[in-house]
Structure 1
Amino acid sequence: MFNRCSVIVFSRLPVRGAVKRRLAREIGEKEAFSCFKRLYIDSLQEVLKVNASRFLFLTPYPEDFSTFTGSWPLVNNFSVKAQVGDDLGQRMKNALLEIFKMGFEIGVIVGTDVPDLRAYHIEQAFKRLLYQDIVLGPCEDGGYYLIGVRSGLRDWQELFHEIPWGTSEVFERTIYKAQKMGYKIHVLEMLYDVDHYEDVMRWRQSE
């Protein structure tokens, strides 16, 4: 259905002690990794429902790829790539550049820590990007869980420059940049991500 569209999942390599460090300080490393695994698997399963080319960009890239895919068989449904760049913005920009060089016209990036992310959020982004310039899915903490852009958009790389990553200003600053550049913007519904103990409790209570 979505020819020349790609969905890119951005994630850390699922290794205990290397993921959800803020959450681990609050609930312990074992429980934090358990939460990460559940979110990771749920996110990949939702992306698999989308009829588009699928990529998984990891940091760091697994040293033993066959062992990694054996432990996480869902990954075999994705083209797995390494994240490249010094900060999150550079890594996302480089991922989009890579898939655009392959000939894709639309790229949508999502994370793996949003319990309510569904395939229809990605599909809605694809549809909107047929006639709008960028799509953003805001998080309650001020970040975003989804960003989508078109390959032919003038100076789209600027959306990833001079953004205070990891702060509550990420979404606001990105929107400001997009408006300043005259882009047509569509904003999806706001969702929450899991970074703290209260987020875990909210997630569990909603099930």
Structure 2
Amino acid sequence: MLNLPKTTKQHLIIFTRYPEPGKTKTRLIPALGTEGAANLQRQMTEHTLSQVKQLQKTSAISFEVRFVGGDLQLMQEWLGYDLIYQPQGEGDLGLRMAQSFLNAFQSGAEKVITIGTDCPGVNNQILAEAFARLQQSELVLGPAVDGGYYLIGLQHPVPELFINIDWGTSQVFHQTISIAQTLNLSVADLPHLADIDRPEDLPIWEEILKLKH
């Protein structure tokens, strides 16, 4: 039995994957090996969580971790027993995200943001800015340099934003914006940030590590 989240008006959903070697960050395996790629996934998820916890010190937000791979016990042993975990569920990324938004709004949230853990530039300031923009705009998007997005925030469920999107391609951001325009949604953009998906992206993570030490 999964404990249901106690949702505040501002709710954050973190999409991540249990860091199992060989199934995680597969495009980085040629550079890092299976263990190294899984370890990077582990570190980036922990980095994202630390930023969210920083934000909680100054903002009334609740958050949950939606995971694929592993199971509830493995997630708790990794990230702690005090967090809310939910499996991402079935379907493509769009279906899983649409469902997570719907669940959060049904739980009483009024401003909901979903992020992944591939973009270490998502710090507590970016998240605070995203929630602030969500006060005025129905849709907040954080464009990724590769043409996707690293953050999406909504004031109410808009399942249309997650249908007929070519996930994992450079078209994701533009397709999402064009659907938003068709629906006459008010949109706010955040700064462009880079995901870490390929070996040539690794220097971005090395810069983040330097800042940590």
TM-score, L = length of structure 2? 0.87
Match of residue 144 from structure 1: 149
Change in CA separation of 1:163 and 1:131 when aligned onto 2, cut-off 3 Å? same
Match of residue 48 from structure 1: 53
Displaced runs of 4 or more, over 6 A: none
Query: What residue ranges of structure 1 are gaps of 5+ in the alignment?
Result: none
Matched, 1:169 2:171: yes
Structural mapping, 1:11-160, within 5 Å? 11-51=16-56, 52-60=61-69, 62=71, 65-73=72-80, 76-151=81-156, 156-160=158-162
Shift of 1:3: 4.7
Provide the identity percentage.
32
Structure 2 counterpart of 1:19, which letter?
A: T
Q: Deviations over 1:86-126 (max 9, x none)?
A: 10000000001111111111110011011211012111111
Shift of 1:190: 0.4
Q: RMSD across aligned C-alpha pairs, in angstroms?
A: 1.7
Moved more, 21-30 or 3-12: 21-30
Q: Deviations over 1:12-65 (max 9, x none)?
A: 122222210111134311221221111111011111122301110011360xx3
Structure 1 counterpart of 2:132, which letter?
A: K
Structure 2 counterpart of 1:166, which letter?
A: G
Match of residue 190 from structure 1: 192
Change in CA separation of 1:68 and 1:184 when aligned onto 2, cut-off 3 Å? closer
TM-score, L = length of structure 1? 0.90
Aligned 8 A contact 2:18 2:75 in 1: no
Q: Which secondary structure does the structure 2 equivalent of 1:100 belong to?
A: helix
Equivalent residue pairs, number: 199
Change in CA separation of 1:70 and 1:143 when aligned onto 2, cut-off 3 Å? same
Aligned 8 A contact 2:19 2:39 in 1: no
What is the CA–CA distance in structure 1 between the aligned matches of 2:66 and 2:142, rounded to whole Å?
Answer: 19
Q: Deviations over 1:158-191 (max 9, x none)?
A: 0000000010100111011111211110000000
